[in-house]
């Protein structure tokens, strides 16, 4: 058995093994209530997509549950998106103070109603304070779903030690937890919930395609990214970064921005010249709209530029609609390929080493052929792999379906554990 097959079989079987330790935590509940903390920021369609992805997992595999979403970010557009697509989900807001008390009485009411709290997918235990407040004010279980837990702080370790289940976003996080002394059968791999996002805005998305002459499966999408997201440029107080940190971020970005994007341009040029089809340049984060011209358009040969279309910042439901019609997605960002995969479109992740350990989940799911480690990759290699996909698109689509069937199986199995917590008779 090769490594990839072993990973598949391990993922499919693991949840069934892990049921025993946590089945006695909650008395039987016919219509349980789950409090979900998620929604970390609204300047990134990947961060937005975590929430509808996990809501769809819960509504699919725990259909009797009432869901209350404790949303961290407060963007009105995203709230409207969630209300439209999940009308039965109540959304509440409110911070947690230093004493781990909540500021909004609605949160305390949610604590009383909820039988279980879940921390949604993210780059770390972003909602650690939310969980700490739950721990302080209830004696009810909680878990973590599809989250990267790289080098957790002592504060986060103390919280995680009390979790009823921990689903890490990639297997490397399990290694980090073990180093921190956190292990057990309740810990397993479950990829980012964005893989299960099912919301789309076909009306808006398809109108954009028609207006720009983008035909079904006759265009690729490319997503730029700097090595470090320049949060200091659009978050208050320079994102809390020191002058030294800002200098390091800007110098690293300046050093690699042309090196990285020249490799992506190689694939764009080959696609246009060999297929005669278009390229859509689109963002995953707001700041990327401002770097499209410099890094991906201005340096292109004159014969290629007429085939290039640009897209401003959007919400994930429109991105999903457009990705569903694209031939292939090539992205330096981690989540656009996931949104594409969820909509049946082949996808390449151009992984920069600064982009945390989250990219390991692509290997965990068997997407090895479509991940490119940028410091070890040439533009020619990306181009050759893209050419393989367009030469035998059926094979690529079948490969993607196999991988996504595996993702679905993992989610089904992790939901079994959650259901066991909620349904077990005391």
HEC string of 49-81 equals HHHHHHHHHHHHHCCCCEEEEEECCCCHHHHHH
Predicted TM-score (pTM) of this structure: 0.92
Q: Give the integer Cα–Cα distance in Å for 168 and 157.
A: 14
Residue pair 344/398 in contact by the 8 Å Cβ criterion: no
Q: Give the integer Cα–Cα distance in Å for 396 and 118.
A: 35
pLDDT of residue 4: 42
Domain with CATH 3.40.50.2000 in the chain: 3-197+405-423, 202-391
Pick the CATH number of 202-391 from 3.30.930.10, 1.20.120.1200, 3.40.50.2000, 3.90.550.10: 3.40.50.2000
Mind listing the pLDDT tens digit for each residue in 389-426?
Answer: 999 999 999 999 999 999 999 999 999 999 998 876 33
Pick the CATH number of 3-197+405-423 from 3.30.70.1290, 3.40.50.300, 3.40.50.2000, 1.20.1250.20: 3.40.50.2000
pLDDT of residue 236: 85
357: helix, coil or strand?
A: helix
Q: Give the integer Cα–Cα distance in Å for 11 and 272.
A: 39
The neighbouring-strand residues paired with 344 are none
Q: Give the integer Cα–Cα distance in Å for 368 and 377.
A: 13
pLDDT of residue 19: 28
pLDDT of residue 5: 41
Query: Which residues of the chain are modeled with pLDDT < 70?
Result: 1-29, 424-426
Residue pair 149/68 in contact by the 8 Å Cβ criterion: no
pLDDT of residue 234: 87
Q: Give the integer Cα–Cα distance in Å for 418 and 165.
A: 8
- Write 249-257 long-range contacts (CB < 8 A, 24+): 252/227, 252/228, 252/354, 253/226, 253/227, 253/228, 255/227, 256/226, 256/227, 256/352, 257/226, 257/227, 257/291, 257/295
């Amino acid at each position: 058995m090769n490594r990839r097959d072993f990973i598949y079989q391990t993922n499919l079987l693991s949840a069934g093994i892990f049921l025993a330790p946590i089945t006695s935590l909650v008395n039987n509940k016919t219509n349980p209530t789950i409090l979900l903390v998620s929604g970390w920021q609204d300047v990134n369609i990947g961060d937005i997509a975590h929430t509808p992805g996990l809501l769809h997992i819960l509504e699919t595999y725990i259909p009797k549950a009432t869901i209350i979403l404790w949303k961290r970010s407060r963007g009105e557009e995203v709230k409207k998106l969630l209300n439209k697509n999940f009308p039965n989900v109540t959304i509440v807001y409110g911070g947690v103070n230093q004493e781990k008390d909540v500021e909004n009485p609605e949160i305390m009411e949610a604590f009383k109603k909820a039988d279980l709290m879940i921390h949604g997918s993210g780059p770390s235990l972003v909602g650690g304070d939310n969980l700490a407040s739950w721990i302080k004010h209830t004696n009810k279980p909680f878990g973590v779903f599809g989250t990267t837990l790289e080098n957790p702080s002592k504060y986060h370790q103390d919280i995680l030690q009390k979790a009823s289940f921990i689903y890490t976003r990639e297997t490397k996080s399990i290694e980090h937890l073990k180093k921190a002394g956190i292990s057990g059968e309740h810990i397993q791999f479950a990829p980012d919930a964005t893989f299960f996002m099912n919301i789309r805005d076909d009306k808006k998305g398809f109108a954009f395609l028609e207006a720009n002459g983008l035909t079904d499966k006759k265009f690729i999408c490319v997503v730029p990214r700097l090595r470090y997201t320049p949060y200091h440029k659009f978050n208050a107080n320079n994102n809390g970064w020191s002058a030294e940190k800002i200098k390091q971020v800007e110098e690293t970005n300046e050093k690699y921005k042309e090196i990285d994007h020249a490799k992506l341009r190689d694939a764009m040029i080959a696609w246009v010249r060999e297929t005669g089809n278009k390229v859509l340049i689109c963002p995953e984060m707001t700041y990327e709209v401002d770097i499209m011209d410099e890094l991906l358009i201005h340096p292109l040969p004159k014969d290629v530029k007429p085939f290039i279309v640009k897209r401003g910042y959007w919400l994930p439901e429109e991105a999903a609609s457009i990705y569903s019609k694209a031939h292939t997605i090539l992205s330096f960002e981690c989540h656009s390929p996931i949104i594409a995969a969820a909509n049946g479109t082949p996808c390449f992740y151009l992984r920069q080493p600064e982009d945390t350990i989250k990219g390991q989940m692509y290997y965990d799911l068997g997407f090895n052929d479509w991940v490119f480690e940028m410091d070890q990759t040439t533009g020619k290699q990306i181009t050759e792999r893209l050419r393989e996909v367009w030469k035998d698109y059926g094979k690529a689509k079948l490969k993607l379906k196999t991988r996504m069937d595996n993702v679905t199986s993992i989610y089904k199995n992790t939901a079994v554990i959650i259901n066991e917590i909620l349904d077990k008779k005391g």
